[in-house]
Amino acid sequence: MNKRRGLMLVICAPSGTGKSTLTNRLRKEFTRLAFSVSCTTRAPRTGESDGVDYHFLSRDEFIAQRDAGHFAEWAKVHDNFYGTPKQALTEMLDEGRDVLFDIDVQGAAQLRQSMGEGGHVFLFPPSFATLKDRLLGRGTDPGEVVNRRLDNAPGEINQAIHFDYWIVNDDLESAYDQLRAVYLAEGLRPVYRPNLPAEILGNAAQEDSDG
């Protein structure tokens, strides 16, 4: 029986909400889920590796790739450029692999237009106070960067209406259970297995003719 097509699972959230925490866990549990490694002009954080977390590019390199049409979507987020390499994505989907995206709300909207179907999840922080605590607690960004990310959060939350699923990352275990459920349910949508009824009917006809 044909396997189903690869799906795109898009997760958006204000920076510091817990996207990486939840998506890393999902990727560990479901190894068939590939990660779309984005290109960015931001500097690597401690512990990040080129080609694993991001492809780190200079501004000129990014603009050259963007102008050559290499991105399925791209956006300027918190003063840096970010983009999804199109060729790698198309190859993974063609192989039937599910692909997970950690992109911003502008990118999610573009991806919907350029690539069509996909499960789009918006992750909310339980409150702004908690979001600030998480950004500061993570300790990866200086104060002005934290403030910039907090300033962008209301605009991002205002775009949540365009998403298919809403999850509040308050208790980590509950949020993870919900994300896992969304991923599994998304893969059951008929759009990813359009030929299934014909296959089942074809098998039935074959069984009849076999007597």
Residues forming contacts to ligand 5GP in the complex (CB under 6 A) are 15, 38, 42, 73, 75, 77-78, 82-84, 102-104, 106-107
Q: List the one residue out of 27, 16, 48 whose CA is nearest residue 100.
A: 27
* 18 contact, one of ligand 5GP, ligand ADP, none, CB 5-8 Å limit per kind: ligand ADP
DSSP H helices in the chain: 19-29, 59-67, 86-94, 105-115, 128-138, 143-157, 172-186, 196-209
Closest contact distance (angstroms) between CB of 151 and ligand 5GP is 13
Identity of the residue numbered 2: N
* 118 contact, one of ligand 5GP, ligand ADP, none, CB 5-8 Å limit per kind: none
Does residue 138 interact with ligand ADP by CB under 6 A? yes
Does residue 112 interact with ligand ADP by CB under 6 A? no
Q: Which is nearer to ligand 5GP, 4 or 23 (CB)?
A: 23
Q: Which is nearer to ligand 5GP, 5 or 66 (CB)?
A: 66
b/e string for 146-166 if b means 16 or more Cβ within 10 A? Answer: beebbebbeebbeebeebebe
Place of tokens 């069509």: 116
Q: Which stretch binds ligand ADP (CB under 6 A): 8-16, 78-86, 113-121, 154-162?
A: 8-16
